[in-house]
Amino acid sequence: MPRLSDVLWRARTDAKLGEAIMCRMLGIDEGRLRKLESGETEPQPDELEAYAQAFGVGVRQLGRGEAGQAPLTQLFCRSISEGGPEALEKLIATGGHRVLGELMRCARAIAELEALLGHPKPPAWPTPMIGLTDLGEACGIVRALALEAFAAGKLSRVRVREYLKLPLTEPLPEHDALTAEQREPVRRLEDTARGIVQQYVQEVALEMSGCIATAVSRVPEGFRVDVVGFRDDAPETALPCGFVTVSHDLMVSCARLDVSALRRDPK
């Protein structure tokens, strides 16, 4: 498996894109680009998404080094070689490169899903000539095929959300072949909030490393997660130790914790 920094550098250079134009495509500065491509720093999820979208591939395909074979890479390379960067600069200035990249990703997803469902075999690398010219239409086709494949047992609950770009905490869209149970989130937001607080009490509040995040309730600020602990001389009895509030954007915003009840009374 190639290093991620090498993959990012190779994707850009295979397309004959200079650092400056790549930065404009990604919305980052050149210093950040050099750190990503040298391995000095790891890319954030939104940066990986921007890279993948720029070349019309998914994040998985980008990580496997497949951007070099993508049609958009060939298009960029030919455009730079034959006419210089002016046409590409105009596309970037209007944000058209993002639309084109997303359209290509939809075309690839449609090809993958049709093959999964046993439809007539599509080309290995779909191109814009397959008839998809409207991004909204293309996204609608991906959504319908992904839900059909999930209903047929061809996709997992996690994989179908990757095609639909849905977080694990959101339900699937309505579909005639799906039950309410099948549409349920893979993970509830309450479970995510509880996990955040458990990590907080273990890693941040060191004196509470033996405590457990328990009940979660919704509050105007987000989620309130109760925390309990156990005394060594009474391990079967859970004692309240306060609560932690997690904001709607899933960050610890307030902690009201007290472990004094867990300490043995001096004799």
Per-domain residue ranges of the chain: 4-183, 189-262
Lateral strand order in the sheet of 222-231: 212-219, 222-231, 234-247, 252-257
CA 83 to chain centre: 35
Between the two ends of the chain, the Cα-to-Cα distance in Å is 61
**How far apart are the C-alpha atoms of 191 and 211, rounded to whole Å?**
17
Which tops the pLDDT comparison, 242 or 135?
242
- Does position 60 have pLDDT exceeding 90, yes or no? no
Give the CA angle between residues 241, 247, 248 to the nearest 5°: 140
pLDDT in tens, 115-170: 899 876 655 444 444 444 577 888 888 999 999 999 999 999 999 999 998 888 88
Which pLDDT score, from 0 to 100, does residue 19 have? 94
Task: Please provide the average confidence, as pLDDT, over all residues in the chain.
Answer: 85
Q: What pairs with residue 221 in β-bridges?
A: none
Which tops the pLDDT comparison, 79 or 147?
147
Average pLDDT over residues 66-92: 82
Token code pair at residue 115? 């093959």
Which pLDDT score, from 0 to 100, does residue 131 have? 47
Lowest pLDDT segment from 85-99, 139-153, 164-178: 85-99
Report if pTM > 0.75: no
What percent of the chain stands above pLDDT 90?
A: 41
Which pLDDT score, from 0 to 100, does residue 128 have? 44
